[in-house]
Amino acid sequence: MPTRQIGPFTVSAIGLGCMNLSHAYGVPPSPEEGERILLAALDAGVTLFDTAALYGFGANEKLVGRVMKPHRSRFTLASKGGMAGVQFDDGVKRVIDGSPAAIRRDCENSLRHLQTDVIDLYYLHRWDKRVPIEDSVGAMSDLVRAGKVQTIGLSEVSAATIRKAHAVHPITAVQTEYSLWTRNPEIAVLDACRDIGAAFVAFSPLARAYLTGRLTDVSTLDAKDIRRPMPRFSPENYAANLKLLAPYAALADELGCTPAQLALAWLLHKAPHIVPIPGTTRLDHLHEDLGAAEVQLSADAMARVEALINQHNVVGPRYAPQGTGEVDTENFA
């Protein structure tokens, strides 16, 4: 597996997003199946594992902690706080809270769930716009000084917020959705990361399965699947977006790879500071994704694939109004 740099850490060029082993896309796999995915990824050379306090309201961190504790020295561990499940009278609900007290609480819970003394890369999962970014990052820098976190990162923030945060404490990585159909980071964030020496970690690099070509009927999505309220996955919009896939799949076939591998290879060729973290619940898909590291794309192939699926022809915003309001990323006009 080729490697890339995230601050002081040399990691596999393709990491593993662990979220869907416990969260988000309908009924998650069993813990035993999740364990098989994690260990298979490690055996295949993956050395970046990404989780968060939010995923499964702690269940994902507990799974990663239990399974990966014996192998802790072999990989870089990333998690996120500032957005977690909080117990209310009517159940556990997702809460964005970037206050210093909440960040300390989330980190302590994550350390316990992950069964580790230190988290290598700790992100602010969402910027709580009620709290100055300087205050949230200041609390995270306290965690670094306390030895509980080695480096810190941000998720779904703008270039301006990145620079404000970096003035308080070095930002090692920024994590944002990035794929052929979500190109927002190209506005300013990719450049901001390069300028400050931060890695850019691309989540949902396969466009939540769209770019695999395997999701052809959104009516089959589970009732609790987080894609259901996303505008791009509405039946009407998704039907329009599906029309983009036939020439894209044909190009992948011409280049000797699968559509999923083409999507990941495109990210790897965009810039050396980009690290995609696809997630999966299947071993065959895991090995398919990792095979993208071997796909070589010429400048002509890059231009052709970018012309097929981009911000000008994808139908629908990536989030519904609530989700859009929770992120700080730039948007195309």
**Residues recognised as catalytic:** 55
Q: Where are the alpha helices (DSSP H) in 130-225?
A: 133-145, 159-168, 189-196
CB 249 within 8 A of CB 216: no
Both tokens assigned to 92: 């556990």
Closest CA to 274 of 214, 211, 206, 202: 202
Burial (0-12, 13-18, 19+ Cβ within 10 Å), 68: buried
Q: Compute the distance between CA of residue 58 and CA of residue 288 in angstroms, rounded to an integer.
A: 28
Both tokens assigned to 219: 């009516």
Concatenating the DSSP letter of every residue in 6-64 gives ETTEEEESS-EE-GGGTSSSSSPPPHHHHHHHHHHHHHTT--EEE--STGGGGHHHHHH
Both tokens assigned to 109: 């819970």
Both tokens assigned to 25: 């896309």
Place of tokens 């159940």: 91
- Cα 81 to Cα 102, 120, 227, 268: the distances in Å are 8, 13, 22, 27
- Cα 197 to Cα 103, 170, 271: the distances in Å are 24, 9, 13
Burial (0-12, 13-18, 19+ Cβ within 10 Å), 321: exposed
Q: Compute the distance between CA of residue 279 and CA of residue 34 in angstroms, rounded to an integer.
A: 11
Q: Compute the distance between CA of residue 297 and CA of residue 318 in angstroms, rounded to an integer.
A: 27
